């Protein structure tokens, strides 16, 4: 992939995170082009990483063999339709990180016959611990799948789904998931304060506990249920707390919340893809 010219349409946080990860993985800066209307964002990327920058999207599309669409979903249609000419002439691999926009819609706006990989990253990508779901349309080759995966792996782990509708489930789980954990941390922090801890201490303990639990889960071959069982001593404090969670219907509530998120993702796809 290092021989491919890589273009980014959009220089926001996610694009900047991907560029940072790629440069850290020794991707040649002189093979990366970025466009955006925000001159300050372009200046920052050029000065920090040495990449090519331009305010003209078409200039990036005219150079790129892989084009990352990193703009807001609400403006993606206008951006892609503007680039339909160079896209039809060059047929780069299109990698879209715009939430909710289907490959079918992107292909239609681009004039058809485009190789497209849709991605659903999440915000921890900004600290190189992201989780991204990917789905390729039928025009994407195996080599292009590898190229798209390498780009997103620069900021975390990647998983492929073969049915694009499953990206709604990815959105509900990992896309929105960081907020669920922040909510839990917020609740634990507030409860710690109610039990007598000062705010800073409660916050630090909740943050470090979340980090430690996540690391144990990642490094273990055991499922979360087994890890939970191992730290839940019969008759102890953890058992009492877990029982309270279960009595309150925590698991069904999580399932209900994720179903609502997945439904909303599907609704947004319909709204934005027209």
Q: What is the CATH number of the domain that holds 218?
A: 1.10.3730.10
| 165 lies in the same domain as 214 | no
Residue 1 lies in a domain: no
pLDDT-derived band at 9 (thresholds 50, 70, 90) equals very high
pLDDT at 268 over 90: no
In terms of domains, do 147 and 256 share one? Answer: no
Q: Rounded to an integer, what is the distance from CA 120 to the centroid of its chain?
A: 5
In terms of domains, do 154 and 55 share one?
yes
Q: Count the neighbouring beta carbons within 10 Å of the beta carbon of residue 274.
A: 7
- Please identify, among 169, 199, 218, the residue that sits at the C-terminal boundary of a domain: 169
Per residue in 238-247, is it b (16+ CB within 10 Å) or e — as a string?
eeeebeeeee
User: Distance between CA atoms of 93 and 86, rounded to whole angstroms?
Assistant: 12
Which candidate, 42, 31, 34, places its Cα nearest to that of 5? 31
In a shared domain, residues 231 and 250:
yes
In a domain, 273, yes or no: no
Residues 213 and 256 in one domain: yes
* Residues 165 and 182 placed together within one structural domain of the fold: no
Question: How confident is the model over 28-45, as pLDDT tens digits?
Answer: 999 999 999 999 999 999
- pLDDT value at residue 271: 87
Higher pLDDT, 102 or 3: 102
Q: What is the pLDDT of residue 1?
A: 46
Q: At what angle do helices 39-49 and 13-24 cross, to 10 degrees?
A: 10
Are residue 36 and residue 70 in the same domain, yes or no? yes
Residue 101 lies in a domain: yes
pLDDT of residue 162: 95
Full residue range of the structural domain in which residue 218 is found: 175-268
How many Å apart are CA 12 and CA 6, to the nearest integer?
16
Residue at which a domain ends, from 141, 169, 197 = 169
pLDDT at 80 over 60: yes
Answer yes or no: do 109 and 233 share one domain: no
Residues 35, 94, single domain; the answer is yes
The structural domain count of the chain equals 2
- Residue 274 binned pLDDT confidence (cut-offs 50, 70, 90): low
Last residue of a domain, one of 121, 147, 169: 169
**11 with 133, same domain?**
yes
**165 plus 243 within the same structural domain:** no
Average pLDDT for 50-59:
97
Kindly report the CATH number assigned to the domain that includes residue 108: 3.40.50.720
- Using DSSP's 3-state secondary structure scheme, residue 118 falls into strand
Question: Residue 228 and residue 224: Cα distance in Å, rounded?
Answer: 6
Residue 166 three-state SS: helix
Sheet holding 66-69, edge to edge: 52-54, 32-35, 6-9, 66-69, 93-96, 116-120, 130-136, 156-160
Q: Is residue 35 part of a domain?
A: yes
- Residues 13, 124 share a domain: yes
């Amino acid at each position: 992939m290092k021989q491919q010219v890589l273009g980014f349409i959009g220089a926001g946080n996610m694009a900047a995170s991907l560029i940072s990860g790629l440069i850290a993985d020794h991707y040649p800066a002189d093979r990366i082009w970025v466009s955006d209307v925000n001159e300050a964002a372009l200046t920052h990327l050029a000065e920090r990483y040495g990449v090519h920058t331009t305010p003209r999207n078409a200039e990036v599309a005219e150079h790129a063999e892989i084009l990352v669409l990193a703009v807001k979903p609400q403006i993606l249609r206008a951006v892609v339709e503007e680039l339909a000419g160079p896209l039809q002439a060059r047929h780069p691999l299109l990698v879209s990180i715009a939430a909710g926009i289907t490959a079918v819609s992107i292909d239609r706006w681009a004039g058809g016959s485009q190789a497209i990989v849709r991605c659903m990253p999440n915000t921890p990508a900004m600290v190189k611990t992201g989780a991204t779901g990917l789905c390729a349309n039928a025009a994407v080759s195996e080599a292009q799948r590898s190229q798209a995966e390498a780009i997103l792996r620069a900021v975390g782990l990647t998983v492929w789904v073969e049915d694009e509708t499953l990206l709604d489930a990815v959105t509900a789980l990992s896309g929105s998931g960081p907020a669920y954990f922040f909510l839990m941390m917020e609740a634990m922090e507030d409860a710690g304060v109610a039990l007598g801890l000062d705010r800073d201490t409660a916050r630090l303990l909740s943050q470090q506990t979340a980090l430690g639990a996540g690391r144990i889960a990642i490094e273990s071959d055991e499922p979360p249920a087994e890890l939970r069982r191992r730290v839940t001593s019969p008759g102890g404090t953890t058992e009492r707390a877990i029982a309270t969670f279960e009595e309150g219907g925590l698991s069904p509530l999580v399932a209900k919340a994720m179903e609502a998120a997945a439904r909303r993702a599907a609704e947004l796809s319909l709204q934005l893809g027209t």
